[in-house]
Chain A
Amino acid sequence: MSILVDQKTRVVVQGMTGREGAFHTRQCVAYGSKVVGGVTPGKGGQDLDGIPVFDTVSEAVEKEGANASLIFVPPAFSPDAVLEAADAGIQLVVCITEGIPTLEMVKVKDVLRQKGVRLIGPNCPGVISPGQCKMGIMPGPIHRQGSVGLISRSGTLTYEAVAQLSDLGIGQSTCIGIGGDPVIGSSFGDLLPLFEEDPETEAVVLIGEIGGTAEEEAAQVIRERIKKPVVAFVAGLTAPPGKRMGHAGAIISGGRGTAAEKIESLRSAGVLVSESPAGIGPAVAEMLGR
């Protein structure tokens, strides 16, 4: 029915007692996610609406059986928080935090790779399997349970795509915002095979943007391993070179990483690319024959 998160996901929120952490924890709980605990060092023994707060992630794992972590701690402490979750045996870490130094992510990623822990983000809206579990800051009500998987480097543009799908009556199996930083936990290429193996996912939507080579790498993975239909949109066709468009990743440098190159590369792998951001939902409908 979904990938990464479902009804069995038991979430621990690192930084749950902070302003953002508390707000979004309540939103996730209201959506129906099982938030079993929070972690704020020094605040162990307190609670948020009855959800216990622990000093360490390992306590939340031992006492509440947490198997996924959602991180809202400030950028200076996020690398430590991700590694603490990994050390406690958490297999899925979702880091919402924006502003983590790239070289810190280089080190964190190396450790996670050795441990086989999956990280989503940082600087991302999170993951949602509609109707089952919301682990992130996306608005729950725009989603609809269904069979289209979605992977995106963007935040609000993801909501736009989801809303287009839901408006056409096309539900989603799982929607993942992978984040816009130069070094991220999971790429398009890492997640596409999970959708390929998920029996309930019929098609996948990729939302890319300028900068880097993630879309070109995704095209390679699609060519080699993905049989399900893929629809894509790449933002930034009109972006000028050398300018950072909000995300650290969204910058065209040295003539590389342009939207045109990415679109060409995805098309050559058989992906249906919509040039208009308003055409994402209709393209999926066309692909699925609805």
Chain B
Amino acid sequence: MKIHEYQAKALFREYGIPVPRGEVARTGSEAAAIAKDLGGRAVVKAQIHAGGRGKGGGVKVVQTPDAAREAASGMIGKPLITVQTGPSGKIVSQVLVEGPLAIEKEYYLGFVVDRSKERVAIMASREGGVEIEKVAQEDPEKILKVFATPGLGLMPFQARQLAFGLGLSPRAAAEAGSLIQKLYRLFVEKDCSLVEINPLVVTPEQTVVALDAKIVFDDNGLFRHPELTGLRDVTEEDPSETQASGFGLSYIKLDGNVGCMVNGAGLAMATMDIIKLAGGEPANFLDVGGGAREEAVTEAFRIILSDANVKAVLVNIFGGIVRCDVVAQGIINAVRNLSVRVPVVVRLEGTNAPLGLSLVEESGMSFIPAKGLGEAARKVVEAARVGGSLV
């Protein structure tokens, strides 16, 4: 789960990590009032779940409360397009208004679970404020890394290694070392999967401040953090994806015209791949999950067909524990109840597949049965190209 910068900074404050003074505003007048409190000069930052805001025009330095009002009004309620949002951008519904900060130098600090080392990795770099992935690719030696020992955690000497490795003055290094340890505590206590400060700044007075803040929580850890549920912003999520997750479905909308409904994430990805290989473009990723109950199947069809681009649907089910005849009945009922108008190719394999296929064939509806993945993909791509309807 992602959260906004202002929410991440509130968590930072709880853990004693220095952040600029500031508050969140939902209107231009609120922004003006906050800027006035801050002494007039301020930075107005659009709050969306995506990076690249500065280059997209989502960060503005203002000199007066009126300018803050204007900047905030120019952002709130409007889409902000950055390299990470996609072409339609994301609607800004709030801005963070912060006091200005004198900056001597910018650094990068990031915490992530390293999958191959199976440990929490803490990374720091003198190349702050820029695309850190680019640095990682082009100059990996410019990124300092330490790994926390499970059980022991991050030792003070490791935090010092990073702080002095960045070439900080003794005063700034002491502050950075303490900040790194506090951040590690936050990372572990809140079950994070990513915490990033980019940039972490050192001021001319040699204090260290988190100018930006990014936190992603491990979804698997959320069950033990009821205090975090209020931080979720569903307006940042695709509404159909949110609706799907309510039914235990995992749905991601894509740009093609071949809808797919599959059980299992790996098989769902493989189904998208084979549609592409057959010359088509998948309209979505959809995993109906292990259960594939009738209710979920109906909902899956509803969501797939809510995308007007969909010209044909491929149902690809590998029955393991799930019986194909049960799934087939679910498909028939869903198609009937929703009066589906596009062609539907059905491929059933595994437990009770022949029984399921005969149900589909005897339903009186013109489903297109398919054997094997390859045949299913060819048939659905052809159906999407030719068009036509099921009834």
For A245, give its contact among B223, B265, B276 (CB under 8 Å).
B265
User: What CA separation (Å) do A75 and B223 show in the bound complex?
Assistant: 10
Q: Name the interface residues of B242-293: CB closer than 8 Å to any CB of A.
A: 250, 252, 254, 262-277, 282, 285, 287, 290
- The answer to whether the Cβ of A230 comes within 8 Å of any Cβ in the partner chain is no
| Contact present for B151 and A209 (CB under 8 Å) | no
Which of A23, A27, A163 gathers most chain B CB within 10 Å? A163
Interface of chain A: mostly helix, strand, loop or mixed: loop
- A152 to chain B: which residues have CB within 8 Å? 266
Interface residue tally for chain A (C-beta within 8 Å): 65
Q: How far, in angstroms, from A254 to B118 measured CA to CA in the complex?
A: 19
Contact assessment for B115 and A212 in the assembled complex, using a CB-CB cutoff below 8 Å: yes
Residues of B within 8 A of A27 (CB): 321
Contact A159–B318 (Cβ < 8 Å): yes
A157 and B266 form a contact (CB under 8 A): yes
Chain B residues near A238 (CB, 8 Å)? 254, 269, 272-273, 275-276, 282
- Expressed in whole angstroms, the Cα–Cα distance for A248 and B266 within the complex equals 12
The residues of A that contact B136 with a CB separation of less than 8 Å are: 254
Q: Tell me if B388 is interfacial: C-beta within 8 Å of chain A.
A: no
List the B residue with the shortest CB-CB distance to A107. Answer: B150
- Contact between chains at B277 and A236 (CB < 8 Å): no
Q: Any chain A CB within 8 A of the CB of B161?
A: no
Expressed in whole angstroms, the Cα–Cα distance for A106 and B277 within the complex equals 38
Provide the residues of chain A in CB contact with B321, threshold 8 Å: 23-24, 27, 137, 139
Decide yes or no: A235 and B266 within 8 Å by CB, A102-B221, A110-B151 being known contacts.
Answer: yes
* Inter-chain contact B133/A246, CB cutoff 8 Å: no
Quick check: A233 and B270 within 8 Å, CB to CB?
yes
The reply to whether the CB of A154 lies closer than 8 angstroms to some CB of chain B is yes
In the complex, the chain A residue whose C-beta lies closest to that of B262 is A156
Proximity string of chain A (65-107) to chain B, C-beta cutoff 8 Å, 1 when within and 0 when not: 0000000000110000000000000000000000111110111
Report, as a range, how many residues of chain B touch the other chain: 35 or more
Question: Which of B115, B191, B263, B266 contacts A101 (CB under 8 A)?
Answer: B191
Contacting B at CB under 8 A, from A231-252, are 233, 235-240, 242-243, 245-250
Using known A-B contacts A154-B267, A276-B274, determine if residue A106 contacts B113 with beta carbons closer than 8 Å.
yes
| CB of B235 within 8 Å of the partner chain | no
Report how far A278 CA is from B277 CA in the complex, Å: 11
Chain A residues with CB under 8 A of B254: 238, 240
- Is A160 part of the contact surface with B, judged by Cβ < 8 Å? yes
Q: Nearest Cβ distance between residue B370 and chain A, in whole angstroms?
A: 11
27 A-B pairs (CB sep. < 8 Å): A76-B223, A101-B221, A103-B218, A106-B113, A106-B120, A110-B118, A110-B150, A153-B266, A154-B264, A155-B320, A156-B263, A156-B320, A159-B320, A159-B349, A183-B115, A209-B266, A209-B269, A210-B269, A212-B116, A214-B115, A233-B270, A236-B273, A237-B273, A238-B273, A239-B285, A246-B269, A278-B274
5 cross-chain pairs, A with B, having the tightest CB-CB distances, nearest first: A154-B266, A246-B265, A156-B264, A157-B266, A277-B270
Which positions in A face B, CB cutoff 8 Å?
23-24, 27, 75-76, 99-103, 105-107, 109-110, 125, 137-139, 141-142, 152-160, 163, 180-183, 207, 209-210, 212-214, 217, 233, 235-240, 242-243, 245-250, 254-255, 259, 275-279
